[in-house]
């Protein structure tokens, strides 16, 4: 018995799996899927996105549709941000919370062009959990919740030349008119297609949602035109430099939006939402831990789970994500540390195996982002 092969067979595969294999991608389990980590090198793919254009298979993400007379009221109840008043064609970021303020998931909500219809785009690792959690809270609301994650593919096209690739190569003309965090609906060969302009890399970019067949066709057209295929390895280095959280690392049932510095996405002036009381208390009275950025004074690389210490060796936190930044040539990390040691300019120390390396608390957005506003 080949245990590795058996494990791979149990994992889900996106509609682009065979394309990744044909390109010789390094594949690895991620969020219950076999996903491409890299095709060439993480550095080359990272630089392609920062300087030209790259594309990512993000078909593993979840698409959950909520509709009905109470859809807006219901989503406002389960979602931290305010969706009342934001127009069709807009996208908004926020979280779903447990009553104690811990994070069920962070997600995007798309207000559809059909009245009382919404699309929730959730993290791949949380699709089943989110779908069950949403359904568990529909009592008293006239809504329908449908999980369509299995019938949609999604490609993220990111980088300074992303608009050119989407408009000129794919012929999706309306994409150039999109502002940041907006979308429109169209068709790809007679089937429904959604095109949004958000991104998870710090660069301008688009997400193209299409049928499984359409996604394969779009991927091949972009590949043939010279767009660089990119794996999840550089997706992580890119989002990290841009100061964007990853669920499970910087947000979790134990790490609230207030601890993560994302309180601006929790609208406490709303009538109510699940977790509001806990978040209100955390805003008013503070939290024990805060997520910070740290720049090391050395080229040593801080990795997730490495301890963060004071000069006397007292452990006051843990690294959540760390890299030697490809774009900035600096060793950087996010770390969850005691609030009393979270101020900008504070000196902290990262223990890397048997040595400790000094660092300074800095802002979490390490890289100057280039979104189209």
Distance CA 104, CA 84 (A): 22
Which fold would CATH assign to domain 62-132? Alpha-Beta Plaits (3.30.70)
265 phi-psi bin (left φ>0, alpha ψ -120 to 50, beta other): alpha
Q: Within 13 Å, how many C-alpha atoms sit on residue 301's CB side?
A: 10
What distance, in Å, lies between the first and last C-alpha atoms of the chain?
54
148: number of Cβ within 10 Å: 12
Full-model pTM: 0.95
Please, what's the largest Cα pairwise distance for the chain? 66
Contact between residue 186 and residue 361 where contact means Cβ atoms under 8 Å apart: no
Distance CA 140, CA 235 (A): 40
β-strands 54-57, 153-158: how paired?
antiparallel
3-state secondary structure of 303: coil
Strands (E), the chain: 12-13, 26-30, 33-38, 54-57, 62-67, 91-97, 103-111, 117-122, 144-147, 153-158, 183-188, 191-196, 205-210, 228-230, 289-296, 307-309, 315-324, 331-338, 347-352, 355-362
> And the tokens for 231?
């794996």
Contact between residue 271 and residue 302 where contact means Cβ atoms under 8 Å apart: no
Per-residue pLDDT of the chain (373 residues; tens, 9 = 90+): 455 555 556 899 999 999 999 999 999 999 999 999 999 999 999 999 999 999 999 999 999 999 999 999 999 999 999 998 889 999 999 999 999 999 999 999 999 999 999 999 999 999 999 999 999 999 999 999 999 999 999 999 999 999 999 999 999 999 999 999 999 999 999 999 999 999 999 999 999 999 999 999 999 999 999 999 999 999 999 999 999 999 999 999 999 999 999 999 999 999 999 999 999 999 999 999 999 999 999 999 999 999 999 999 999 999 999 999 999 999 999 999 999 999 999 999 999 999 999 999 999 999 999 998 7
Q: CATH 3.30.1360.120 region(s) of the chain?
A: 3-59+152-241
Q: In terms of CATH, what superfamily is 288-362?
A: Aminomethyltransferase beta-barrel domains (2.40.30.110)
Q: CATH 3.30.70.1400 region(s) of the chain?
A: 62-132
In total, the chain counts a number of residues equal to: 373
pLDDT at 7: 53
Which of 294, 304, 289, 290 is closest to 358 using CA atoms? 294
Which of 165, 210, 163, 156 is closest to 187 using CA atoms? 210
Q: CATH 2.40.30.110 region(s) of the chain?
A: 288-362
Distance CA 354, CA 254 (A): 28
Instruction: Look at domain 3-59+152-241 and name its CATH class.
Output: alpha beta
The full 3-state SS of 108-151, as one line of letters, equals: EEEECCCCCEEEEEECHHHHHHHHHHHHHCCCCCCCEEEECHHH
């Amino acid at each position: 018995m080949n245990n590795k092969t058996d494990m791979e067979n149990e994992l889900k595969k996106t509609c682009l799996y065979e394309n990744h294999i044909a390109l010789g991608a390094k594949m690895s389990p991620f969020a219950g899927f076999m996903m491409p980590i890299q095709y060439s090198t993480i550095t080359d793919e990272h630089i392609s996105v920062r300087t030209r254009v790259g594309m990512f298979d993000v078909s593993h993400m979840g698409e959950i549709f909520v509709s009905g007379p109470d859809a807006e009221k219901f989503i406002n109840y389960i979602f931290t941000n305010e969706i009342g008043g934001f127009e069709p064609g807009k996208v908004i970021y926020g979280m779903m919370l447990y009553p104690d303020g811990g994070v069920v998931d962070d997600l995007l909500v798309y207000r559809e062009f059909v009245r009382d219809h919404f699309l929730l785009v959730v993290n791949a690792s949380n699709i089943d959990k989110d779908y069950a959690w949403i359904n568990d809270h529909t009592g008293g609301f006239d809504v329908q919740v449908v999980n369509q994650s299995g019938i949609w593919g999604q490609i993220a096209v990111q980088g300074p030349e992303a608009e050119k690739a989407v408009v000129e190569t794919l012929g999706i003309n309306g994409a150039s008119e999109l502002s940041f965090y907006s979308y429109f609906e169209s068709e790809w060969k007679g089937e429904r297609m959604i095109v949004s302009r958000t991104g998870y890399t710090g660069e301008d970019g688009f997400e193209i949602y299409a049928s499984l067949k359409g996604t394969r066709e779009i991927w091949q057209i972009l590949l043939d035109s010279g767009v660089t295929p990119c794996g999840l390895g550089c997706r992580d280095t890119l989002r990290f430099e841009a100061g964007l959280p990853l669920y499970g690392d910087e947000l979790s049932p134990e790490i609230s939006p207030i601890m993560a510095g994302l309180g601006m996405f929790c609208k406490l002036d709303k009538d109510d939402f699940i977790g509001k009381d806990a978040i209100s208390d955390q805003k008013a009275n503070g939290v024990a831990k805060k997520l910070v950025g740290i720049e090391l004074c050395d080229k040593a690389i801080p990795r997730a789970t490495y301890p963060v210490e004071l000069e006397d060796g007292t452990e006051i936190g843990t690294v959540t994500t760390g890299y030697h930044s490809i774009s900035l040539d600096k060793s950087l990390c996010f770390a969850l540390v005691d609030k009393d040691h979270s101020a900008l300019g504070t000196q902290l120390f990262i223990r890397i195996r048997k040595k400790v390396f000094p660092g300074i608390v800095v802002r979490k957005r390490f890289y100057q982002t280039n979104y189209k506003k």
